[in-house]
Amino acid sequence: MDPGDYKVQLEVFEGPLDLLLYLIKRDELDILDIPIVPITEQYLAYLNLMQMLDLNIAGEFLVMASTLLLIKSRMLLPREERAPLEDEEEDVDPRWDLIRQLVEYKKFKDAASFLEEQELRQDEVFARGQEETRIEADPEAALRDVSLFDLLAAFQTALQRIPAEDLRDIAAERFTVADKIGDLLARLRDHASFSFLDLIRPMRSRAELVCTFLAILELIRLRQIRVGQESHFGDILIERRDDDGVVPALVPEAGEPAVASSVEAT
């Protein structure tokens, strides 16, 4: 896959536990009794997507992948045949450490949503002292209503819709992220918002899809667009962001890989 030498700068600060909790929530799984085989498959599929997109993902994702595979293999073996692990207690479910960690992290996520609500409430307060605490939004804050994993889910669905035979035609067309950024901005001039699925429906090659997806991530980072979701785990809505002014003419030279750096300055 060649997304035109383009490296999307969006930092991924979510970790493997976020991905696992996302999958557990999406599939309405019991966190205390995680079905390790399907969750491992799902996890690896997402990991694969992130690697395909060459996102800046943390090495911890790979560590977790091997942890999941280890747990899976230990679950498959009868207890007496499991190789003893260092300092492992007798009769411990191999999933236990992971479950404990997930449950604890979940509690802090809930605490974080309390802070999130407070942050919104304080945005309605104009007291002295409050004014001084105002801060600039994180670029990643644009990804708050829809997580990266939601976007990846949409991307995965889209990839699966591409018929296999079309894969041979890739060589005929060349797509770049820079071109796709231009296309998206042009589309945003006519439509304040549009659906991700509608956008990618006519696309017939993986390369085009990958470039489009990376272009979306880049525009999120540049705060040109915001993404929303009509329902949990539903279609993704791409919206123009008007609050920071009009969409600037950010159409780069076709295929110019320097967009990322020139854009860094903004």
Q: Which residues bind other proteins (CB under 8 A)?
A: 11, 13-18, 58, 60, 64, 97, 100-101, 103-105, 107-116, 118-130, 132-138, 140-141, 143-144, 147, 243
Nearest distance, CB of residue 252 and other proteins, angstroms: 26
Phi, psi angle pair for 171, to nearest 5°: -55, -30
**DSSP secondary structure string, 29-96?**
--GGG--HHHHHHHHHHHHHHHHHTT-B--THHHHHHHHHHHHHHHHHS-GGGSPPPTTPPTT--TTH
Cβ distance to other proteins smaller for residue 34 or 207: 34
- Nearer of residues 11 and 256 to other proteins, judged by Cβ: 11
Question: Shortest Cβ distance from residue 226 to other proteins (Å)?
Answer: 9
- Decide if 6 contacts 260 (C-beta within 8 A): yes
Tokens of 149: 């994993």
Supply 218's token pair.
């880049």
Instruction: Report the SS3 class of residue 220.
Output: helix
Which of 121/168 has CB closer to other proteins? 121
In the complex, minimum distance from the CB of residue 266 to other proteins, in angstroms, rounded to a whole number: 18
- Show Cβ contacts of residue 100 under 8 Å, excluding neighbours closer than 6 positions: none
- Residue type (1 letter), 161: R
Choice between 151 and 210, CB closer to other proteins: 151
**C-alpha to C-alpha distance for 71 and 89, rounded to whole angstroms:** 15
Contacts of 17 (CB under 8 A, 6+ apart): 64, 101, 102, 105
Nearest-approach distance from CB 176 to other proteins, in angstroms: 28
Residue 98 or 188: the one with the smaller Cβ distance to other proteins is: 98
How near is the Cβ of 2 to other proteins at its closest, in Å?
28
Q: How far is the CB of 177 from other proteins (least distance, A)?
A: 23
Contact yes or no for 227/145 (Cβ under 8 A) = yes
> Is the separation of the CB atoms in 34 and 23 below 8 Å?
no
Through-space distance between the first and last CA atoms of the chain, rounded to whole angstroms: 28
User: Which residue, 63 or 167, has its beta carbon nearer to other proteins?
Assistant: 63
Please, which residue, 147 or 195, has the CB nearer to other proteins? 147
The nearest distance, CB 109 to other proteins, in angstroms, is 6
